[in-house]
Structure 1
Amino acid sequence: MTPGGQRKPLRAGEGPHESTILDLLLDLVFVFALNRIAEKAIHTLTGEQHLVLPGVGEVLLLFLAMWLVWFFAALAASRFDPRCPEIQVVIFCIAFGSVVMGVSVPAAYDGHGGHFVGAYVAIQVGRPLALTLFQRRRAHQTVVPPPIPTRILCWSVVAAVPWIAGALAPTGVLRGGLWTLGLTIEYLGLVIGWPTPMLGRSRIHDWDLVGEYLADRYRQFFIIALGESVLLSGLTFSSSPFGAGQTAAFVCAFVTTALLWRIYFYRAGTVMKSAVAAATQPARLVAYGFVTHLTMVVGVVTTAVGYGLAIGHPYDTAKPAWLAAALGGPALFLIGRARFEYDIFGRVSRVRIIGVLVLAAMSLVLVRLPLLTASVAAVAVLLGIAVADAARAWGRSRESPAPPH
């Protein structure tokens, strides 16, 4: 606390090491945002075939923008005390902007592009600007080098130019290209440490973070993705005729959600916070968590899209794009989960790699069968992995985390 009784920004090792109630509020916003993105993906995959591939790219771009908003919010709360009133105001503003982005997603490439970009740019520029001003206050000086938010601010301002230009562009193709450029600039800055004249660069690997807090936030966002899956399948099923095919697909969707939860939290997801505490370079483990959880969340959302299609079209022949969602989603999740397991234990279970190969092989056979068949096949593969995990753990003591970093 400062002499005046005001909280200082979070220093390494201080403040809450787990999610706060305000974090939960922000995550509720992203359940809605992910649902809008998944609904847009289903609309794209059921549209004209020659528009599917560019449409998928457009949806992925919107998701990556949403993910970046969430990650930077979590990163800010890991460096600044989320109990500070100023930080709480920043989080509330991010939550409101994220709601606007979610509302604008269905027509982001049409009439609501300005709304989506306006909210996104306001968040991406406003957040580092507020933190820069906040950190410069003498009462709030910390051992953390002040230029970090300033570096991010400089890159965000540069990235805002193609984002705004894209919102003003008359065509969807040009708009998508400009937005891709803006997003690429932001992700490139994140990877290389936002090098800025006179300020240098600062990679997340070198930061002094409260890693346990970010580990908790990663797990929480994974739960968000599972919640979106339940929401999407429930809404789709509630508007269906409740036939045998729709019911079977809905049951498969829920069972899959439970299996994804089980496979994620089987040891690696449960002990992630302990792994961060035991790591020699906790910030590096947190940075790798960005990639692994991004991969797993994309896999979960893609799986949800596949089940949304299966509930709506259980007996239709599986189109390649539909099959990619139904089987590619679980495969992508398993790939991310395999890397996540390596980051926590320094090894990878062969059963996850086998699961990916089996899903890939099934896609060659199921392409001519009803989509519901692919949904059942995905459940069978995930169930086999969950059973193999349980068999491996039977009669053995719990494995302690051994991060290689």
Structure 2
Amino acid sequence: MELFFDLVFVLAFIQVVALMEDDFTAHGVLNGMLALALLWSTWSIYAWLGNSLQARVGLIRIALLFVAVVTLVMAVAVRQAFTDIGSIAFSGPVVFAACFVIVRLVHLALRWYAVPDTRPRIVLLVAAPLFVASVLLFSAAVVPQRLFHDPWLINATQTGLWTLAVIIDYGPALVIRSWGWHIISARHWAERHGLIVLVALGESLIAVGLTSSGVPMTGPLIAALVFTIVTAAALGWIYFDVVAIAAERTLIQNSVQHRVAYARDAYSYLHLPMIAGIMLLALGLHKVVTIIKDDELHPSAAHLESLGLYALYGGAALFLLSHVGFQLRITRLLRRIIWPRLIIAVLLVALIPAADQLPAVVALGLLAAVCVSLVITEVLVAGGRRKELREAALAEDLRPEGP
């Protein structure tokens, strides 16, 4: 059931990239990140819910199917979340806000059902920010157009209201130690987040594949496809090779009560910038293929504009920095691989001016080469400690979880 639910987010991530491409400016990218933040919080609260109940039986199964339907509508509405494009159709911003409210109310009801001893105070603490965030989203959908005629003021007001909604949505959990949840299965929790990272990486490949449809199979296009899969594979290796294993072991070895803080900070929060980095990377990859598609006469000489380069290189750097934060928060194992990641993240940002002088395909190839070099460096730096960790994790998989 949870995998089925995750399939909706394949479309949601594609729509986030499309939203940023529709308005390929710094403001449009910011709007895409805000939409992603609300989508991620929606996914995250159901990940918490799924760790506390059986999602394949009874009322829960039916409710999650209903939520999947509403989330699908929400995902389709992402591209229209800031702009109403139809005169006789439903307003896209209103549809997005309505779906957001519905999935949150269903979550609140399921939480009450799944955890019978949930105190009214906890429900109020969850419902209050939901109400405020919902009012802000509906206000962003209908108020600016009625107050202003200047498009810049309308867009700025919408973005401001969305920013407040995201802060309200995320803020309370930072100051409240627990929402009454527990991580019952550490393996299930770690696996769920690993799968959503794979979904995001898969979306970047899908975005490139969809853009490549109908493009002549030239040398630059084939090279771009190869560099894309190499880059995605390198980032996947960085996530899963050792740190994901060490993080899962940390959760397993801690008590149920102590898992909550790790799960909230390292997974619910620090995975968001990781996913955001992958979305920015996907936007940059999409732009590379678009350049090849639009410049068929000289595709190997076409350059990537500055914002595209910032998305391409900055997205990869954001992923690495977020993963360093994830590692620092949850595990003390293999700290020696942190410095290579920090150095490469800084190097990627420093390379943007130089990459601006290179053809788009070459700039992508340089990114792939840097990511592969980081993988090789980590394997060499980790050495025998990496092997010990992986073997210990394999042996631990055969034993039941801790307390």
Interval of TM-score (by shorter of Structure 1 and Structure 2): 0.7 to 0.9
* CA shift for structure 1 position 226: 1.1
Q: SS of the counterpart of 2:242? A: helix
Matched residues in 2 for 1:222 and 1:25: separation?
Answer: 15
Structure that is richer in helix per residue: 2
Quick one: structure 1 residues 154 and 87, their matched pair in 2 at CA, closer, same or farther if it must change by over 3 Å? farther
* CA shift for structure 1 position 290: 1.9
Q: Which residue of 1 aligns with 2:74?
A: 101
Q: State whether structure 2 residue 292 is matched by structure 1 residue 292.
A: no
Matched residues in 1 for 2:304 and 2:206: separation?
Answer: 23
Q: Which residue of 1 aligns with 2:48?
A: 75
* CA shift for structure 1 position 249: 1.2
* CA shift for structure 1 position 129: 3.6
Asked if structure 2 preserves the Cα contact closer than 8 Å seen for 1:245 and 1:311, the reply is no
Q: Please, which runs of 5 or more residues in structure 2 have no aligned partner?
A: 85-91, 146-153, 293-300, 394-403
Q: Which residue of 2 aligns with 1:398?
A: 388
Q: SS of the counterpart of 1:32? A: helix
CA distances 1:39-67 after superposition (whole Å, capped 9, x unpaired): 2223332xxxxxx1111111111111100
Q: Which residue of 2 aligns with 1:182?
A: 165
CA distances 1:207-264 after superposition (whole Å, capped 9, x unpaired): 4322513222111111111111121111111232322222211211111111111111
Q: SS of the counterpart of 1:208? A: coil
* Equivalences for residues 5-404 of structure 1 within 5 A: 22-45=1-24, 52-111=25-84, 112-132=92-112, 134=113, 141-142=116-117, 145=119, 147-169=121-143, 170=145, 171-193=154-176, 203=178, 207-212=181-186, 213-279=188-254, 281-288=258-265, 289-314=267-292, 315-342=301-328, 343-346=330-333, 347=335, 349=337, 350-396=339-385, 397-399=387-389
Q: Which amino acid aligns with 2:136?
A: P
Matched residues in 2 for 1:319 and 1:91: separation?
Answer: 42
Matched residues in 2 for 1:322 and 1:286: separation?
Answer: 33
Asked if structure 2 preserves the Cα contact closer than 8 Å seen for 1:352 and 1:385, the reply is yes
Identity of aligned residues (%): 24
* CA shift for structure 1 position 352: 0.6
Matched residues in 2 for 1:207 and 1:33: separation?
Answer: 26
Q: Which amino acid aligns with 1:318?
A: L
Q: Please, which runs of 5 or more residues in structure 1 have no aligned partner?
A: 1-21, 46-51, 194-201
* CA shift for structure 1 position 110: 1.5
Asked if structure 1 preserves the Cα contact closer than 8 Å seen for 2:317 and 2:348, the reply is yes
Asked if structure 1 preserves the Cα contact closer than 8 Å seen for 2:291 and 2:304, the reply is no
Asked if structure 1 preserves the Cα contact closer than 8 Å seen for 2:38 and 2:166, the reply is yes
CA distances 1:84-115 after superposition (whole Å, capped 9, x unpaired): 42222332222112111111122222221111
Matched residues in 1 for 2:162 and 2:384: separation?
Answer: 53
Poorly superposed stretches of 4+, deviation over 6 Å: none
Quick one: structure 1 residues 298 and 267, their matched pair in 2 at CA, closer, same or farther if it must change by over 3 Å? same
Which one is further off, 278-287 or 331-340? Answer: 278-287
CA distances 1:164-207 after superposition (whole Å, capped 9, x unpaired): 111113133333322222222111122223xxxxxxxx535x74
Which one is further off, 234-243 or 318-327? Answer: 234-243
* CA shift for structure 1 position 153: 1.8
Asked if structure 1 preserves the Cα contact closer than 8 Å seen for 2:70 and 2:103, the reply is yes
Q: Which amino acid aligns with 1:42?
A: E
Q: Which amino acid aligns with 2:354?
A: V
Quick one: structure 1 residues 147 and 211, their matched pair in 2 at CA, closer, same or farther if it must change by over 3 Å? farther
Matched residues in 1 for 2:63 and 2:34: separation?
Answer: 24
Matched residues in 1 for 2:93 and 2:135: separation?
Answer: 14
